[in-house]
A and B are shown apart, each in its own frame.
Chain A
């Protein structure tokens, strides 16, 4: 027991030592981005391109579930801009007095696909979503709080098979975990973000079919510049780049639809 106590002490000492007092340090202004998990691949590329165009700005990204970040931002989490998978989360922050309407923006529209591993016998190409009636485990995000989960459930209802498959559904905490469930082979089909299905890790491992947009509520992805942004000017420049032709082109090439300007 003493040894366990010592271990805990050493660990906590190490953890405290690792914390840097100021994010980014001196020099170039740093934009701290709290981003939805479905942006994982595309945003890295956005940051890389931006670094070439505007070397004076540094960007730090943190990926997570939009709901968790919403809860953290309500407690003034130290981010400068919030990129949510659902515009309703930043809207809710504004309703709570955090941020203003003019700093709210929509940047993309998420799409869902049904994804199966390469060797799967499920005939998604021929039968569409109905093929999932033959799957024993279907991974999707949790519809109770994940926008992609709500869209997946709506699409299954629309296909008329929700009551048949709901007992076989396994829920990921967010859409990236749902993708991991099916990509690892633990589930035999999944309804995931098209942006994830097109990411290098999944593209070669399976095949997917797009789910028509009219079968589920639209996944409008929205963001908000936070009132406590350290460098508002750099944050605005980051947002403007994301919404520029070049930024939109990157989003489109990674599986997002574009929102109206």
Chain B
């Protein structure tokens, strides 16, 4: 069992989920409440990774962040080294790729909150952030949790993007999905079976716990 890869995968998934919570919640709230005409464009941009194969996203990401590109030069000016083949690079790509898996459930949850409650809170003098924290979030948290868990679980299982931009470096970009792929390629099926079984059990447990949590609080 490649525990370095397991640790790295969990770190990547946790940080991806954290960033998606920080970036995704405001974005989703804006999408759920705005009436601007170009909202569908942002909606589409968020959802596009659902349709694009991970390899396409990884390929574009690689092309857009190489050392000769604007992004690559900006990054090299601030940090040491290039975006591809670094943990930061994989994390960035992972956040982009998981955007719809977090934001779509968030938007659905926020949109289902009764507008009258939000307006009542505003009329009683609560600021927009306070309204969000004390009215919207408590009413929509099963959806928020679902989004976060989906993003976390999906990052753990992600393969294509990491393969394209990671470079398979142990402890830096070799996630458990890549380690399993390497085991299969090297015909080491015993190791592949072992890691796959752990991943399968993990996935089923995470999803079962999430669904039971949601059911207990908000029977759907």
Q: Is B88 an interface residue (CB 8 A)?
A: no
Place the interface of chain A in its size category: 20 to 34
- Are B62 and A173 in contact, with the CB atoms below 8 A? no
Interface membership of B66, Cβ < 8 A: yes
Q: Is the CB–CB distance between B85 and A7 below 8 Å?
A: no
Count how many chain B residues have C-beta atoms less than 8 Å from C-beta atoms of the other chain: 24
Query: Is B169 touching A145 in the complex (CB atoms < 8 A)?
Result: no
Tell whether A259 is near chain B: CB-to-CB under 8 Å. Answer: no
- Decide: B108 and A170 in contact? CB cutoff 8 A: no
The answer to whether the Cβ of A1 comes within 8 Å of any Cβ in the partner chain is: yes
Q: Binary interface profile of B, 151-193, with partner A (CB < 8 Å = 1, else 0)?
A: 0000000000001000111000000000001101111000000
**A4 in contact with B82 (CB, 8 Å):** no
B184 to chain A: which residues have CB within 8 Å?
Answer: 67-68, 71
Flag if A186 contacts B181 (CB, 8 Å): no
Determine the chain A residues whose CB is within 8 A of the CB of B84 once the complex forms.
Answer: 181, 186
Q: Is the CB of A171 within 8 A of B185?
A: no
CB within 8 A of A186: which of B62, B185, B186? B62
Q: Which one of A23-31, A102-110, A134-142, A235-243 contacts B?
A: A134-142
Contact partners of B187 in chain A: CB under 8 A? 67, 70-71, 92, 145
B50 within 8 A of A: yes
Known A1-B104, A184-B63, A184-B66: A171·B169 in contact at CB below 8 Å: yes
Residues of A close to B85: CB separation below 8 A: 137, 170, 186-187
- 1/0 contact string of B136-147 vs chain A (CB within 8 Å): 000000000000
Set of chain B residues within 8 Å of A171, measured between Cβ atoms: 167-169
Are B67's CB and A67's CB within 8 A?
Answer: no
Specify the chain A residue showing the minimal Cβ separation from B101.
Answer: A4
CB neighbours (8 Å) of A139 from chain B are 167
Pick the most buried of A139, A181, A188: most chain B CB atoms within 10 A of its CB: A181
Per the bound structure, the CA–CA distance linking A60 and B18 in Å amounts to 47
Give the distance to chain A from B162, nearest Cβ to Cβ, in Å: 11
Q: Smallest distance from the beta carbon of A189 to chain B beta carbons, Å?
A: 13
Q: What is the bound-complex CA distance between A71 and B104, given in angstroms?
A: 37
Contact of A145 among B63, B65, B186 (CB under 8 A): B186
Contact flags B22-63 to A (C-beta < 8 A → 1, else 0): 000000000000000000000000000010000000000011
Q: A7 CA to B187 CA in the complex, in Å?
A: 36
Where the two chains meet, the residues of B that have a C-beta atom closer than 8 Å to any C-beta of A are 50, 62-63, 65-68, 81-82, 84-85, 104-105, 108, 163, 167-169, 181-182, 184-187
- Other contacts beyond A67-B184, A173-B163: 8, CB < 8 A: A68-B185, A137-B82, A145-B186, A170-B85, A173-B168, A186-B85, A187-B85, A187-B167
8 smallest beta-carbon distances between A and B, as pairs = A170-B167, A145-B185, A67-B185, A171-B168, A145-B186, A185-B66, A186-B84, A170-B85
A-B residue pairs in contact (CB < 8 Å), sample of 21: A1-B104, A1-B105, A67-B184, A68-B184, A68-B185, A71-B184, A71-B185, A136-B81, A136-B82, A137-B82, A142-B182, A142-B185, A144-B186, A171-B168, A171-B169, A173-B168, A173-B181, A181-B167, A185-B68, A186-B82, A188-B67
